[in-house]
Amino acid sequence: MSVSYRKDMFWLAGLFIVLMLTPTILPNNYYLTIMILGCLHAMIAVGLCLLVGHAGQISLGHAGFYGLAAYTSAYLSTTWGLPVELSMLAGVVLTVVVSILVGMPSLKLKGHYLAMATLGFGIILSILFTETVDITGGPSGFVGIPRLSLAGFELHRDVDIFRVVAILLCLLVWLCFNVLHSRMGRALRALHTSDQAAQAMGIDVARHKLFVFVLSAGFAGLAGVLYAHYLTFIAPASFGFMFSVELMVMVVLGGMVSVPGAIIGAFFITILPELLRAFEDIEIILFGLILVVCMIFLPDGLAGGSARLWAWVKTKLALGCSRG
Amino acid sequence: MNRGKSLFLVIVLLFFCATAWAETIKIGAVVSVTGAASFLGEPQKNTLLQLQDLTNAKGGMDGRQVELIIYDDESDVNKCVMAARKLLDQDQVAVVIGPSISGNTLAITRFFSSAQVPLISCAAAEKIVFPVNPWIFNTPQLDRHAALKILQDAKVKGYTKLAILTVSDGYGQAGRAVLKELAKAQGFDLVADEVYSPKDTDMTSQLTKIKGVSPEAIICWGTNPGPAVVARNRMQLGLTIPLYMSHGVASDKFIELAGEAAEGLVLPAGRLTAVDQVPDDHPQKTVITDYVANYSQKFNAPISSFGGYAHDAFLLVHEAVTKGGSANPEDIRDNLEKISALPGTSGIYSYSPDNHNGLDEDAFIMVIIENGTWKVVP
């Protein structure tokens, strides 16, 4: 087992411990709500990090996958009365199937064209959620979705939902690290640098791209079904183009290639507006300003920035020790 | 000795501070000050802040000062959920006013029934109050009331063949549903059911199609700017079929957008739209004129019925707290249900355990646009 893999596992263990301790520190449900949404965003960001940072493919349609899964599960459990677990599974499976169908033709495109294709797909889904009023409830939203339940037990308390979401996030991160440290991960990095070179090395470029696209869509799908059954209400406005962009911002802010970075980015983008609420009218300006400052001074994202800060602290400490 | 005295003074002072602080009534509000629905949220925020000042200057509610905590949900569902959680868990308010839009209201109702805190929404969707959730109220007139008023007018004028043209957003589709239901129930013949998208800039094709089936009147249901385009297209096509608009465009902005094409259009509107034409002996007269005078004096901006929804919500809280003499969330809820015949800016409210909207179609008057201004249809 390589050193970097062990390092990643340490990081994952740290994340798990922090997330498990969080509810005991937080004074009330308000903070828990933020943390749950943060975890859901982190799930999607981790998948996107694999797709964007490692495989070098772009997607502006992940809000669509998120919404598709949410609506599917909501519809099956509310209108058809299926058990929540089953409809959640169906939601994720449908998202995966759709992502295969969408990914096969569109991943042949590159750069801006791929961005346009996924963007178009996202917008089509968003229109679908809005217009099929009889199924989705239209623009005013889907009401009365049953709450998340596991093995027949409904999770009434937000703490329980948070624990479930946090454990699932850790599982997804574990899966990501394993993919990245396998032959698959190396192949992805190769095709990020050059499709042709990767092909020359005997890598099936199309299949690898499709795999990671479907994987990231599946992550978004899982986050989507959890979102629907946590909030018990969904509306098309949550799954629009702007949310796709926000997801990309999380990944880029986190540093593109770093899985921990994507998680930090997701929590950062989710928590920051809440912290800035105190500033009322200038809230949005401050938010923009912080993002701009981050991108100027931390070109390798929050992950790279914090790594450098850590290195700097370590040298200072070492200096201090040697002097002392 | 001296030290003991000052210590005593400090304790007394602290005690006073504590009681004064404990006695304020915390009222929360979530409105969409920014984002797509800012045209609703901004006047609502202004109205609430002004009412807080006016109420506190007059000695507060039931002798207690009011502390208003307003959050902006940026017209976004997730932000609204977090703002509601913050109001309930962190700020521990006694009652919440808002949100401005129906979707956001429906997203947070569950929290209020489990926290047992009343919510008075400024959004109009029927799903908010039907079926009744004991903790959820709303103040705007329902779409049903506006549709009833239009159909009443159509019946008086003897129209039987109607066409509807609605926008494909939450407001338009809710209107479409009630229009279809009520038109059928009242024996009208619905000959066309056309829809346009909120971003459309030309509705000629829908109007041409409607023209083909020659209805006796068209009902258009949408918010600015779509209906103004419909009015203009109707004029360009030389259509003479009478056109009804919904209460969604009952603001001067619509006349500005539609210009000449607005002439002769008939629509239901709250009395706030035609303040000067409300008869002096009408119960709403005082509250409307006061609100208009205060608001336009302070903000130097035209009045909107949306701000009125927040005004009425605040008024209802005031009434419930004063009459009941308690600011406990449960007591406020119980006393809200006891309110009857309270004049607000949007209508006369009478809540009951099975009616959490409190208004009927009389909250609307029919107005006609003449010479660029509103005229009440007698």
Q: Are residues B112 and B175 in the same domain?
A: no
In a domain, B260, yes or no: yes
List residues bridging with B219 in a β-sheet: B164, B244
Contact B86 A237 (CB under 8 A): no
pLDDT at position B331, please? 95
In a domain, A228, yes or no: yes
Among the candidates B212, B236, B269, a domain finishes at B269
In a domain, A109, yes or no: yes
Q: Are B106 and B126 in contact (CB under 8 A)?
A: no
pLDDT at position A126, please? 92
In a domain, B368, yes or no: no
Q: Are residues B148 and B248 in the same domain?
A: yes
* Partner residue facing B173 (CB), from A30, A133, A235: A133
Q: Are A294 and A249 in contact (CB under 8 A)?
A: no
Is pLDDT of B334 > 70?
A: yes
CA atoms within 13 A on the CB side of B287: 21
Contact B78 A139 (CB under 8 A): no
Residues shown for chain A: 324
Is pLDDT of A278 > 80?
A: no
CATH number of the domain residue A55 falls in: 1.10.3470
A323 touches chain B (CB under 8 A): no
In a domain, B374, yes or no: no
Q: Are residues B47 and B167 in the same domain?
A: no
| Torsion angle in degrees (nearest 10) through CA of B269, B272, B277, B282 | 100
Q: Are residues B265 and B150 in the same domain?
A: yes
Q: State how many domains chain A has.
A: 1
Q: Are residues B113 and B158 in the same domain?
A: no
In a domain, B372, yes or no: no
Q: Are residues B147 and B56 in the same domain?
A: no
In a domain, B275, yes or no: no
Q: Are residues B59 and B129 in the same domain?
A: yes
Among the candidates B269, B297, B312, a domain finishes at B269
Q: How far apart are CA B271 and CA B248, in angstroms?
A: 14
Residues with Cβ within 8 Å of B127's Cβ and at least 6 positions away in sequence, in order, are A140, A143, B102, B106
Q: Taking all residues of chain B, what is their mean pLDDT, rounded to a whole number?
A: 90
What residues in B contact A138, CB-CB < 8 Å?
168, 170, 173
Residues with Cβ within 8 Å of A322's Cβ and at least 6 positions away in sequence, in order, are none
Q: Are residues B148 and B136 in the same domain?
A: no
Among the candidates B203, B234, B269, a domain finishes at B269
B225 band by pLDDT with thresholds 50, 70 and 90: confident
pLDDT at position B1, please? 46
Q: Are A302 and A78 in contact (CB under 8 A)?
A: no
pTM above 0.95, yes or no: no
Q: Are residues B41 and B76 in the same domain?
A: yes
pLDDT at position A317, please? 85
Domain of A43 in residue numbering reads as 3-275
pLDDT in tens, A214-261: 999 999 999 999 999 998 899 888 899 989 999 999 999 998 888 999
Outline where DSSP puts E strands in A96-240. Answer: 149-150, 153-154
Q: Are residues B174 and B159 in the same domain?
A: yes
Q: State how many domains chain B has.
A: 2
Give the neighbor-by-neighbor strand order of the sheet with B66-72: B66-72, B25-31, B95-97, B119-121, B136-138
A37 touches chain B (CB under 8 A): yes
In a domain, B277, yes or no: no
Is pLDDT of A201 > 80?
A: yes
pLDDT in tens, B120-177: 999 988 889 988 999 999 999 999 999 999 999 999 999 999 999 999 877 888 899 9
Q: Are residues B121 and B88 in the same domain?
A: yes
Q: How far apart are CA B56 and CA B43, in angstroms?
A: 20
- Best mutation target, A156, A233, A284, to test chain B (most B CBs within 10 A): A233
* Partner residue facing A235 (CB), from B71, B88, B103: B103
In a domain, B274, yes or no: no
pLDDT at position B5, please? 63
Domain of B300 in residue numbering reads as 2-141+285-363
Can you tell me the mean pLDDT for B222-231?
A: 92
Nearest alpha-carbon partner for A65 in A44, A88, A39, A41: A44
In a domain, B276, yes or no: no
